[in-house]
Chains A and B, each alone.
Chain A
Amino acid sequence: MHTLRSYITGFILSILLTLAAPALLLWHEATGHVFPTHQELRFAFVILAIAQMLIQLIFFLHINREKEQRWNVAALAFAVMVVTILVGGTLWIMYNLQQGQDTEMGTYINGVVTPQMEDD
């Protein structure tokens, strides 16, 4: 896998994916925020970031299905799991906390502890 070809392929793909995100944003602004919509654009950005990560992993970090890579892949899978729980769990809990506040605009989130919070 350590070949000039793999690095060049990875480099070209990563540049294209990087340019795709702002290109989509310009398209979004050119069509007056109609297509792609905000939601579609967010979705596209996430997909592009994941694709970019996979390209870097495969072409630059040489992660593959070969036997000697098995433990590296296992560590990677574990890290992905921890990251998913950490980020997903944080967003889930903090969103619900914000919803649960009956004071003005998410005061807990804004770093101001409300009287109810101090009682906890």
Chain B
Amino acid sequence: MENNLAIKDKNMFGFWVYLMSDCVLFAGLFATYAVLYTSTYGNASIQTIVDLPFVLTETIILLTSSFTVGLAVLAAERGKKTLTLAALTLTLALGLAFLGMELSEFARLAAAGSGPSQSAFLSIFFTLLGTHGLHVFLGSVWMLVLMAHVFYKGLSEGSTRKLLLMSLFWHFLDIIWIFIFTFVYMFGAL
């Protein structure tokens, strides 16, 4: 298993610890959401915001991108440069599609007079989803940098390891989204 070397890596453990601390950041936001979600101050509530087919599409897009980033890692471990770049391009496209949908939801809410300053609920709704969206955006930038690296310098042990770290980050964002999907949208649709 060529990958065992990378798993033992200290970088890997350090990055994992970062991911776990990011987990705690999101836990704080989720706790705040749980406390404030009824505080709508007469403005939009989660029941009026939730659009199940829309959010289901977002979820499927993000899950698929989690799968394709895994394919990129597999291709990189087997030294297939073109396949790696193709899988990364697909992942990036899916990530940007997800971001576009999230921003369109934000824009729709803001246009309807339900911006983040209108109620405590809307503040935490925008903060929780926005923080996740910001992570997806930064992950996309990281992916773009890695794609350029692989494109110009080719695959190496170093670039494969960086790719593996980036994939961990991407899968982690997927897990956070699953919790947003469940506790914000599914509970909200109930």
Contacts and interface: CB of A to CB of B under 8 A. Distances in A.
B137 interface: no
Interface string B50-84: 00100010011001101100110110010000000
Interface string B10-25: 0011001100110110
Interface residues of A, number: 49
Nearest to B3: A2
B8 interface: yes
B24 A86 contact: yes
A110 B35 CA distance: 9
Contact of B60 (A18, A38, A61): A18
A75 B66 contact: no
Contact of B24 (A38, A52, A82): A82
A83 B4 CA distance: 29
Given A18-B59, A61-B168, A75-B16, A45 B8 contact: no
Main secondary structure of the interface of B (DSSP, over half): helix
A82 B28 CA distance: 10
Nearest to B24: A82
A66 to B, nearest CB: 8
A45 B178 contact: no
B60 A90 contact: no
Given A61-B172, A75-B20, A110-B41, A18 B28 contact: no
Given A49-B178, A61-B171, A91 B35 contact: yes
A56 B175 contact: yes
In order of increasing CB-CB distance, the 3 nearest A-B pairs are A79-B20, A90-B31, A49-B182
6 contacts: A14-B63, A21-B182, A46-B182, A49-B178, A90-B31, A109-B38
